[in-house]
Amino acid sequence: MSQETEHVHCLIIGSGPAGYTAAIYAARADLKPVMYTGIVPGGQLTQTTDVENFPGYPDGVMGPEMMEDIRKQAERFGTNVRFGYITSVDFTGPVHKVVVDEHKAVTADTVIIATGASAKWLGLESEQKYNGFGVSACAVCDGFFFKGQEVAIVGAGDTAAEEATYLAKLCKKVHMLVRRDEFRASKAMVHRVLNTPNIEIHYNTETKEILGNGQNVTGIRVLNNQTSEENTIPVEGFFVAIGHKPNTDIFKGWLEMDETGYLITKPDSTETNIEGVYACGDAQDKIFRQAVTAAGTGCMAALEAERYLAAKEHAVA
C-alpha cells in the first residue's frame, strides 16, 4: 500500500437511506462513523423525481433533495462522509479491512454494509432518456402519479405480477408485456393477474422503444417475437419489473448470500455471518425495497454495532 492504514470504529459502506440513517445513529452514539458513499452518492433515490411516501414531507420532495437533507443530518452529528468506492474487503480477523479506490487501506472494528441494489433495465436509450419522466422501476413508489391513466409494465415474474395488480388498482388500464408465451410467476400470482379485468397481457412481446414528446412518455413501440409484427401502444407510464441486482459482488466468499446475491442476516437482526459486520437496506432486503424500510434497518445496524462495541470494551475492561 502506498499509504498508512487508517483505523475507524465504525465504517459505513453506501449512502442511501439505510447508510445515512445508520450514520445518524452511529454518530449520535459517538462511534465517529466514516462513510464511503460509493459511485452514486445518495443511492437510487437520487435518480427519482418526486418522493411522496417518506414520512416528514407532507408536500412530497424530490429524491435528490431528500438525500441531501439526510446527508446534512448525518454530517451535523459528526459523520465523516467521503466520496469513494470500496474495491475489496478482507474479513479474516476481528478487525475488518477494506480497500478504497484500489489504493487506500482502512480497518474497522465494525462495518455496516448499505450498498443497496440496482434495478435491472432493458438497456434501451429511450428508457434512460425518460427515466423519472414516465419510466420507473418501482410501481409502489411511482404508481400514484399515473392514477386514472394507461401504463405498461414489462416482466413475467412474481414482482411483475404483483406490481401489475398494484397498478391496476390505480390506473385505467395496465398493459403487461411478457417476452415468452408464459409467466415465470407462481400460479397464485398468475391467477391474480388473469382475474384482474383491466390488465391486458401481451405475450411474446418485446419493447423496442419508449416513445415520448421530449418531456414525458407517450407510448411504446413493441415487437411480437413470433409474428415479427410491430405495434404502438399509447401509454403515459412504463414500469420495468425484470428484477434487481444487489450491489454485493465484493462480499462474495466472505458473507452469506442467497442465490441472487442478497446478503443473509440473522432473524430479527442485521448481523451477518461475520461478527461485527452488519447489512441493511436493499443489499439484504429483496421484499420491500422502500426508502423507509431501508432507513429502519439502517437504524438497527447502528444500534447493533454500538452494542457490539460496548460489549467488547466491557470485556476488555
Helix axes 187-194, 158-170, angle to 10 degrees: 30
Asked if 142 is an active-site residue, the reply is: yes
Give 289's contacts (C-beta < 8 A, 6+ positions apart).
117, 138, 244, 282
Q: Which residues, listed in sequence order, are joined to residue 111 by a DSSP beta bridge?
A: 11, 277
Closest by CA position to 211, among listed 241, 237, 179, 186: 237
CB 283 within 8 A of CB 248: yes
Asked if 138 is an active-site residue, the reply is: yes
Out of 50, 101, 109, 138, which one is annotated catalytic? 138
Out of 109, 142, 282, 285, which one is annotated catalytic? 142
Out of 141, 171, 280, 299, which one is annotated catalytic? 141
Phi, psi of 291 (to 5 degrees): -60, -40
The CA distances from residue 124 to 47, 130, 286, in Å, are: 17, 10, 25
Query: Would you name the residues annotated as active-site residues?
Result: 138, 141-142
